[in-house]
Amino acid sequence: MIGQSPRIVLIDDKMHHLHGLAKALGKLDSACLPFHFEDQGPSKNQLRNARVIFCDLYLLSDSLTGDTKQQLANIVSMLSEGLKENHGPYVLVIWTENPEKVDELQGYLDNLQPGQRPIEFVCFDKNEFIDPKDGNLIAEGDLIGKIQESLGKWSGVTALLWWETTVANAAADLAASLWEPFDDDNSVRPEGLRQTFGKLAVGSAGDHQARAYPGMAVNEALAPMLSDRIERTKFPKEVWDSAVEFDNQNQAVPTARLNTLVHLDFIHGLSPLQRGSASPLLAAWNTEQWFSDKFGYSQEDVLKAFGFKGTRVADAKNDASWHLIQIRAACDEAQGKAGLLPFVLAANIPTKTNDSRRPSAWVSREFQFGESVAKIYAHSNFVLGLNASEVGGFRPTFRLRTSLLESLIVAVHSHASRPGTIDIC
């Protein structure tokens, strides 16, 4: 995909107005997408990355322009169809000479999904920037400055948008650095880049995995390179000092939900062959007989190994959601080495069930699973080796991201390798 969705979108039914406004933004080094409204608004792809949406109040045909309510309803309908449900922060700018005419807009915006609503909507007079008759630029009014002014009370949003821009710039810098070695010989560029991707793919994922999933393998190589460029960015104090609150955090994202965002991935289509995938136990396996056959212990025995005691064992058994987490070594997965797939038995148990963790057990922080807040429990004594056919019926519901997965793997292997020596003095 060559095109990239713009961060600024202009929507107007008059083409000459679009040209004039785009020119005004261009003089401020701000690229935008001018969208000529006829019968339909921009698509989801066109609005996907929009952080500022300029929209003329009167988009409908002349026969309806006198009905402001109809115009407002049309704008909100257009946003409802064009924005994702979790679009993220954006500012909506309504072009009008009469701001009082859009006082009712907030009521219409409330009908949008929460993630589609703008953090702020403001009214600007288009006549301050262009001649409405021909669209010619009559003043270089600071449109971006006006937007930034309206964002003044949203210091966290300002910082988030700054970071988003920084990541995009870092990705552009990385792309340029991959192209730079071929600057002296244009004739080798196309093949040279493809072969360079091949080297990166094999180097990061191994020959077998790279050939099977080349895009994933190249991404695995580029991700740390991109991360390094972001990390060495200078973060302006004037942006971040006011954007970060350390003491009063009563309105922050709840800890369990934030942990989930950082450490768990709930995308569809996960494979049990993928390391870190967490698959619910098959119904035929979620029985006392299966636990006894596989481990020689009951479910309650396993929960005791996790650290539950007394009456809390029965509570944990009633509340537990059993999973198998795939913990194959990254190099084995990358190189497609022969062998059984290792899985560690784990249980998601709501935190309302008080626990008493044993030192030998691995217990995660709190996560948000639907309406429930739970921790993940595991132990190195309950690891299975399964072949690919045995996991064919697995349907992973989430995946542990790398840092949490590595924490679990280290806990499993370090417990099994604890040194026990006879030390005679």
The overall longest dimension of the chain from CA atoms, in Å, is 100
Do residues 353 and 301 both lie within one domain?
yes
pLDDT tens across 268-313, in order? 888 888 889 999 999 999 999 999 999 999 999 999 999 898 888 9
Q: Please classify residue 63 by burial: count the beta carbons closer than 10 Å to its beta carbon, then call 0-12 exposed, 13-18 middle and 19+ buried.
A: exposed
Q: Which helix (H) or strand (E) holds 324?
A: strand 321-326
C-beta of residue 391 within 8 angstroms of C-beta of residue 340? no
Strands 52-56 and 8-12: parallel
Write down which residue in 127, 153, 179 finishes a domain.
153
What is the chain's mean pLDDT, rounded? 85
What string of DSSP letters covers 344-368? EEEEEEETTS-----TTEEE---EE
Indicate whether 250 belongs to any domain. no
Q: Please classify residue 58 by burial: count the beta carbons closer than 10 Å to its beta carbon, then call 0-12 exposed, 13-18 middle and 19+ buried.
A: buried
Do residues 108 and 18 both lie within one domain?
yes
- pLDDT score at 418: 60
Percentage of residues in the chain having pLDDT higher than 70: 90
Asked if the model's pLDDT at residue 373 lies above 80, the reply is yes
Q: If you search the block for the tokens 């784990």, which residue do you land on? A: 346
- pLDDT score at 127: 77
C-beta of residue 10 within 8 angstroms of C-beta of residue 34? yes
Indicate whether 168 belongs to any domain. yes
Banded pLDDT at 28 (limits 50, 70, 90)? low
Distance of alpha carbon 119 from alpha carbon 87, whole angstroms: 11
Do residues 75 and 200 both lie within one domain?
no
Indicate whether 246 belongs to any domain. no
Q: Domain limits at 193?
A: 158-240
Do residues 363 and 398 both lie within one domain?
yes
Q: Which two tokens stand for residue 85?
A: 């449900």
Percentage of residues in the chain having pLDDT higher than 90: 40
Do residues 99 and 168 both lie within one domain?
no
pLDDT tens across 121-160, in order? 888 887 777 777 777 766 656 666 777 777 777 888 889 9
Q: Please classify residue 417 by burial: count the beta carbons closer than 10 Å to its beta carbon, then call 0-12 exposed, 13-18 middle and 19+ buried.
A: exposed
Write down which residue in 213, 240, 267 finishes a domain.
240
Do residues 184 and 287 both lie within one domain?
no
Do residues 138 and 45 both lie within one domain?
yes
Banded pLDDT at 329 (limits 50, 70, 90)? confident
Indicate whether 3 belongs to any domain. no
Indicate whether 421 belongs to any domain. no
Indicate whether 245 belongs to any domain. no
Do residues 200 and 281 both lie within one domain?
no
Q: Which two tokens stand for residue 279?
A: 């698959």
Do residues 211 and 181 both lie within one domain?
yes
Indicate whether 376 belongs to any domain. yes
Write down which residue in 153, 176, 204 finishes a domain.
153
Banded pLDDT at 320 (limits 50, 70, 90)? very high
Do residues 99 and 184 both lie within one domain?
no
Do residues 345 and 279 both lie within one domain?
yes
Do residues 136 and 164 both lie within one domain?
no
How many separate domains does the chain show? 3
Q: What is the CATH number of the domain that holds 55?
A: 3.40.50.2300
